Structure 1
Amino acid sequence: MSRTAHYRLVPVSDRVHLVDGGSVNWVLVSEGDSLTLIDGGYPGHADAVEASIREIGRRPEDVAAVLVTHAHVDHIGSLDRFAARYGTPVHTGTTEADHAHRDFLEQATPRDVASNAWRPRVLPWALHIVRAGALGEHRLDAATPFPAEGALDLPGRPVPVAAPGHTSGHTCYHLPELGVLVSGDALVTGHPLTSFDGPQPLVSMFHHDRARMTRSWESLAPLEADTLLPGHGPVWRGSPREAVEQARANSSRVW
C-alpha cells in the first residue's frame, strides 16, 4: 500500500498491546527492548504492523520472533514482507507451517463468500478485504515449526496451545506470567459479519471443521488468565472458562 492502513493501538498492560487493524488483530508483547509479534493482518497491513511497533517505542528489528496462530491470509498477509525485510524468525506448529507453505489450503473460498452474499454485512466486508489485499495466493515460506516444546524463550514466555478446527493446525498462545490468552480465531469477541460483541465463534464458512474447533475450547477453558486477546473483536476481561461458556451460549446467534 502507498499509505499506512488504519489501525488502533489498544494497551492491555505495560507489556502487552492489542492492535486493531479494522477487521483483524495482531498482538505485541514486550520485554526490555525485545518484542514478540503474534500474527500480522492482511497484506495491506504491512505498513501498519511496522507503524504499530514504532508507536510503542520499538523498531521492527526488535522483534525476536513472529508467532502465527494460523495461516489464513488475514493473519499472515503482511508477514512475508516483514520476515524478508528484517530476517525475523516465524514460528507456528508443524501442521500450520505446512499450511503456511500452501502444501494445502483450508480457507474460505470466493465461492463460499458468494454463496453467502445475500446475508447482511457480507458484501461490505468482502469489499473491505479485497481492498486489504485478500485476493490471490498468499504463502509464508518463512514459517517453521516451534523450536522447542513448552514455553518459548521469547518475550512473554508464550506457551503454544493446540486448538485445531478453525484450521487443522491452529494454535493459541498462553502467556501465564502476564495473565493473557491470545486465542486467534479459535475464540473471538466480534467480527464484521456478526452484530454483537462478546466471546463467540466465527461464522461457519471460515472454519475447516467447526465441531472440532468447539471441542478445542475444552483445552482453553482450564488455562489461568484474566484477559482474552482474540484474532477478531475487542479485548475481553475474564477467565478462559468464562469466555468458553459465553461462546457456547452465543453459538446459536452465529450462522
Structure 2
Amino acid sequence: MTTPYTITRVGDAYLVSTHHVNWVLVEDGHDLTLIDGGYPGNVVDVERSVREIGHQMGDIRAILLTHAHVDHLGGAARIAAAHGIDAYTGAVEVPHARRDYLQQLSPAQIPFVLWRRGAVGWVLDITRLGGTDRTGLAQVESYDAARLDLPGAPVAVPTPGHTDGHTAYAIPGSGVLVSGDAVITGHAVSRLHGPQLIVRPFSHDRGATTDALDVIAEVDAGTLFPGHGSVWTGSMRDAAAQAAATAGFWRP
C-alpha cells in the first residue's frame, strides 16, 4: 500500500510531504542523505520518492534522525536494516532510538488528543501506518561533529524539548532548515497553518521545546522543511516568532 505525497525541491534538498509526516532527501552528486523515514508503513513511499528524484536506494550514504518517535524512526529503521545503511542521531537521542526508554504518546494518553478536531481519523490512519510499533533501531550511532561528513554537509542544530535529544539539521548550501518536530507548519489535529509548536501532549518537555525556538531563530536559512506540514519560506527568526505565539494554543 502506498501513500500519496508531494515533493518540493529547494537547492539540493527535497521535502517529501505526506498528509501525516514528512522526510527529507539531500542530494550531493550521486549520493544522498535521508533525514527521517516516516512511519513503518511509509517504507515503500520513501523508496518510491528516492526513485522519483532519479536515485536508487544504494545512493543513500546515511540516515539522520531528528528524533526517535515512530513517525520519524519507524520507516528509517526498516530502511537501514533492509539496505545496510548507517543511521545517526544526537548522542542524547541514541538510547531513545534503541528503545532503552520511550518518550512518546502512549495508547493510554490518546484520550488527551481525541477531543481535537480530526483526531479520530488521525488515529485510524496512523494505526494503519504502524503507529503503535515500538521497535527500535539497534545500530544507530551518535554524530560526532557539528558539520557532518555526509552528502549535503548537514549541520546539526540541537533542539531538545520535543524529545530530550531532538536535533534539527541545517543544509547550508540549500538555505534549508530541516526542523523535525521542533517547529511544524501543520498537523491533522491542529487547525493552525504556518510555523507552530506541535500540540502539547506530543512533546516530552513543552518548556524546553519553547526554549529551542531561540536556537532556531539564529539559523541562517530561508526555507523551513518541517516534520509535519508544508514547506515554509521566510527567515527562521520569523518562523520561531510565529511558533512561539502558538505556545499557549490549546483550543480545538
| TM tier relative to shorter chain | over 0.9
Q: 1:48 — aligned with what?
A: 45
Helix, strand or coil for the counterpart of 1:5? Answer: coil
CA drift of 1:217 comes to: 1.0
CA drift of 1:5 comes to: 2.6
Taking the aligned partners of 1:142 and 1:252, their CA distance within structure 2 comes to 38
Structure 2 counterpart of 1:67, one-letter code: L
Taking the aligned partners of 1:187 and 1:221, their CA distance within structure 2 comes to 11
Q: 2:31 — aligned with what?
A: 34
Within-5 A mapping of 1:76-155: 76-146=73-143, 148-155=144-151
Greater RCO structure (CA 8 Å; 6+ sep): 2
Is the alpha carbon distance of 1:121 and 1:149 closer, same or farther for their aligned partners in structure 2, counting shifts above 3 Å? same
Q: 2:179 — aligned with what?
A: 183
Within-5 A mapping of 1:105-254: 105-146=102-143, 148-254=144-250
Structure 2 counterpart of 1:249, one-letter code: A
Is the alpha carbon distance of 1:116 and 1:196 closer, same or farther for their aligned partners in structure 2, counting shifts above 3 Å? closer
Structure 1 counterpart of 2:10, one-letter code: V
Taking the aligned partners of 1:36 and 1:118, their CA distance within structure 2 comes to 38
Whether the aligned pair in 2 keeps the contact of 1:80 and 1:142 (CA below 8 Å) is no
Helix, strand or coil for the counterpart of 2:243? Answer: helix
Q: TM-score, normalised by structure 1?
A: 0.95
Taking the aligned partners of 2:192 and 2:215, their CA distance within structure 1 comes to 25
Helix, strand or coil for the counterpart of 1:192? Answer: coil
CA drift of 1:6 comes to: 2.3
1:69-124 CA distance string (max 9 Å, x none): 00000001112221112111100011111101011110011121123322321111
Aligned length: 251
Q: TM-score, normalised by structure 2?
A: 0.96
Structure 2 counterpart of 1:74, one-letter code: D
CA drift of 1:254 comes to: 4.2
Taking the aligned partners of 2:80 and 2:99, their CA distance within structure 1 comes to 17
Taking the aligned partners of 1:196 and 1:164, their CA distance within structure 2 comes to 23
Taking the aligned partners of 2:62 and 2:173, their CA distance within structure 1 comes to 18
Identity of aligned residues (%): 46
Q: Which runs of 5+ in 2 are unaligned?
A: none
Helix, strand or coil for the counterpart of 1:78? Answer: helix
CA RMSD in angstroms comes to 1.2
Taking the aligned partners of 1:47 and 1:196, their CA distance within structure 2 comes to 29
Q: Which runs of 5+ in 1 are unaligned?
A: none
Is the alpha carbon distance of 1:117 and 1:55 closer, same or farther for their aligned partners in structure 2, counting shifts above 3 Å? same
Taking the aligned partners of 1:209 and 1:115, their CA distance within structure 2 comes to 16
Taking the aligned partners of 2:90 and 2:142, their CA distance within structure 1 comes to 5
Is the alpha carbon distance of 1:118 and 1:250 closer, same or farther for their aligned partners in structure 2, counting shifts above 3 Å? closer
Whether the aligned pair in 1 keeps the contact of 2:10 and 2:174 (CA below 8 Å) is no
Helix, strand or coil for the counterpart of 1:165? Answer: coil
CA drift of 1:174 comes to: 1.0
Structure 2 counterpart of 1:231, one-letter code: G
Helix, strand or coil for the counterpart of 2:93? Answer: helix
1:107-151 CA distance string (max 9 Å, x none): 0111211233223211111111101111132211121111x3121
Whether the aligned pair in 2 keeps the contact of 1:194 and 1:254 (CA below 8 Å) is no
Structure 2 counterpart of 1:203, one-letter code: V
Q: 109-118 vs 196-205, which deviates more?
A: 109-118
Q: 2:66 — aligned with what?
A: 69
Q: 1:58 — aligned with what?
A: 55
